Amino acid sequence: MKTIKAGEVIYAKTNAELLNTLLGKRYKAWMKAGYPLRFGEMLWMPRLDGKVRAGWRNTMQNGQIIEEYVGGQPYPSNIYDGLNIKRRAVFEKRDRGGYFVFRGVFELESDLTLLRRVLGLVSDQITL
């Protein structure tokens, strides 16, 4: 088991490579941005650059992560998933350079809706 602290860089080009490195998996591909850890928790690999991807825009502002669905209707099948997962270990995906940056463990705050979720920092480290 290894403790990872906020700001730590993990060199991996793909989500699968990150999961293999962190969790000892043997994936050849993992296209989803989330990976279940424990009940109500996941390892999340978003880009936090504010660009819209598959209808979602994710940004980091003032120590919070804002996740917004701006794609309109019909809603994607995963729109409810984010409401069920309360804690997320966030590894920000950086396209240029092929690496991820651990941002911390975030938890859903009370002012969430189906289309907008706010996650606040609850820990600056995680042991995997």
Distance CA 7, CA 34 (A): 19
pLDDT tens per residue across span 23-70: 999 999 998 999 999 888 999 999 999 999 989 999 999 999 999 999
The amino acid present at 48, given as its one-letter code, is L
* Fold adopted by 3-127: PUA domain-like (2.30.280)
Alpha helices by DSSP H, listed for the chain, are: 15-23, 81-84
pLDDT tens per residue across span 109-127: 977 888 999 999 999 999 9
| pLDDT above 90: residue 12 | yes
Is residue 8 very low, low, confident or very high in pLDDT (cuts 50, 70, 90)? very high
